[in-house]
Structures are given as structure tokens and as C-alpha cells.
Amino acid sequence: MDKKSILIIEDEPALLEMYKKKFERSGFEVLTSIDGETGVSIALKIKPTVVLIDLFIPKKDGMVVLEELRPQLPESKLIIATNLDQPGKEAEAKGKGADSYIIKAKYLPSEIVEVVEGLI
């Protein structure tokens, strides 16, 4: 895939649509999934530049998704995007291979795009 691509795994439809629009405006090819299981299979198939993963998603939670994708997608940036601002969670995510840990409530969607672009 030549164009920079992002897979957004988020179960909140309004947030998913908002992020999708923001990333498309920034030139990303955007794929979406509302659950971890589907997200993993899409990610393994298309090998996106970035995977933005919510922690609390149906079928497989974000940490499980992260653990499954990290060894198989060494080139992709894996980013946890959550509202869980809990001590230890960021360290746990980074220990499992997350490139970044974003607390969604602390950023505007456009700022999340900037953070992602800064990583790639």
C-alpha cells in the first residue's frame, strides 16, 4: 500500500466517523472496524501504516489486539487511543509494543491526527 493508511478500531460510531473524516482530510486511506476480532483480520490483510486501537472494544480488547498485531506487523505504528487514564496502563501497552498511548479526552481529533503523523 503506497498511500499512508490507517485502520481505526473503535466501537463508538460517532467517534469512529469523526476520526475517519479527520484522517481522510489529512490524506490517509482509512479503514475502520468496530471490534477487535475484525480489526485484527483487516490489519493482517492490508498491513496499514498505522493502527489506532481503542482499549474497550467488543470481541477482543485493545491489549489483546495489540499483542496479536505487534509481532506480525513490525513496520506498522500501533497506537492505543483510549479514555482510560489509569496508572500502569500506558506502561503495560508500551510493554506489549504500542508505539504511543493517547488519552482521547486530552486531545482534539485534529491533534490526534498530528500525533499520528508525527510518528510516521
pLDDT tens profile 53-101: 999 999 999 999 999 999 999 999 999 999 988 889 999 999 999 999 9
- What is the CATH code for 5-119? 3.40.50.2300
User: Which among 10, 46, 51, 2 is positioned nearest to 27, based on CA atoms?
Assistant: 2
Domain regions of the chain by residue span: 5-119
pTM: 0.94
